[in-house]
Amino acid sequence: MTPFGTRLRTAMDARGPLCAGIDPHPSLLEEWGLTDDANGLEKFTMTAVEGLAGTAAAVKPQSAFFERHGSAGIAVLERAVQASRDLGALVVLDVKRGDIGSTAQAYADAYLHPSAPLFVDAITASPFLGMGSLDPMLDTAAGSGAGVFVLALTSNPEGPQFQHARTRDGGTVAGSVLAALAARNAGSLLGSFGAVVGATIGGTAEDLDIGGPLLVPGVGAQGGSAESVRLIFGPAARNVLPSSSRELLGAGPDVAALRAAAEHAAEQFAALAR
């Protein structure tokens, strides 16, 4: 399969740089007049897919909101992945997995192997156990044309306690994550191994030009804008995949309104990709 980074660049150039979050939060189900059960989950999700996946370069289902409904919720997630692909969107599954050894490989097999029922284009992963612990996921992704976005500089207030901590060589933990991803991406026009960097971190001295995509949550309702992204990422802004969830989903449940919201968001960030 064509590498994820190559496919993502093609999608971003064709559709604009937008990752549309699909987060079936209980409060959003209520706003849409739906019940907080598997039936409401399916109606919400498939409506969101219909409105967003034909416009956005990628969609990002948040796995936790499907998992809370048990096996019925996972079945909805599987249908949403296939339907999103049918509409031309790449699927980034927000699962933030992280473990070691055979368990890390099992997570890789669950999401990044083509034979898996939940095979997606990319997943999010946590490097808390060390970047080496993610090797099974990164290696499996490389072999199947998939990608991995690794948490690096997040916007939550608790993040700096770990991400800004200094390693023995004097750099930060976040910096070591970014450097490891840059090494993995070396030689690619756009590598398949990305970092998650919040749109509202305010600024950083870290080198964000990792040769791979930068998944940037926090745009739209959370305060991130095209201008703030440009200021934070500088030359690396071309590789930014801004992620918006609540602002887009707030336009629902009307499919046309969802589609218009996605088109508007993509246009706002289009200049970054040039």
Q: Report residue 57 as tokens.
A: 């370069």
Would you please indicate which residues are annotated as catalytic (active-site) residues? 96
Q: Report residue 150 as tokens.
A: 């690794």
- Count CA within 13 A, CB hemisphere, residue 258: 25
Burial 198-237 (b: 16+ CB within 10 A, else e): bbbbeebebebbbbbbbbbbbbbebebebebbeebbeebb
The three-state secondary structure class of 53 is: coil
Distance in angstroms (rounded) separating the CA atoms of residues 108 and 133: 12
Distance in angstroms (rounded) separating the CA atoms of residues 119 and 57: 18
Q: At what angle do helices 38-52 and 70-86 cross, to 10 degrees?
A: 10
Q: Report residue 89 as tokens.
A: 């969107």
Find, among 183, 224, 182, 222, the residue nearest to 203 by Cα: 224
Find, among 59, 75, 51, 61, the residue nearest to 23 by Cα: 61
Max Cα–Cα distance, the chain, nearest Å: 54
Q: What is the DSSP letter of 107?
A: H
